[in-house]
Structure 1
Amino acid sequence: MRGVTLIELLVSIFIIAVVATIFMSAFSTFRENSQLTEAHSAIIGILKDARSRATSSQGKTTYGVHFETAKAVLFKGSTYSASDASNESYVLPAPVEISAISLTGGAADTIFSILGGTTTASGTVTLRSKKNTSKTRVITIFSTGTVE
Structure 2
Amino acid sequence: MELAGPSHHPGANPDAAADAAVAPFGAPGTEADPAAADPTASRRPRREEARHCAWCGRPLPDQGRVGRPRRYCAQPCRQRAYERRAAVQRGGLPEDAVVLSAAELADLQDRLFQLRCAAEDVASAAAEGADPAELGELATGLADTARGLERLR
TM-score, normalization: structure 2? 0.26
- Structure showing greater radius of gyration is 2
Q: Normalized per residue, which structure has more strand?
A: 1
TM-score, normalization: structure 1? 0.26
Higher RCO structure (Cα 8 Å, ≥6 apart):
1
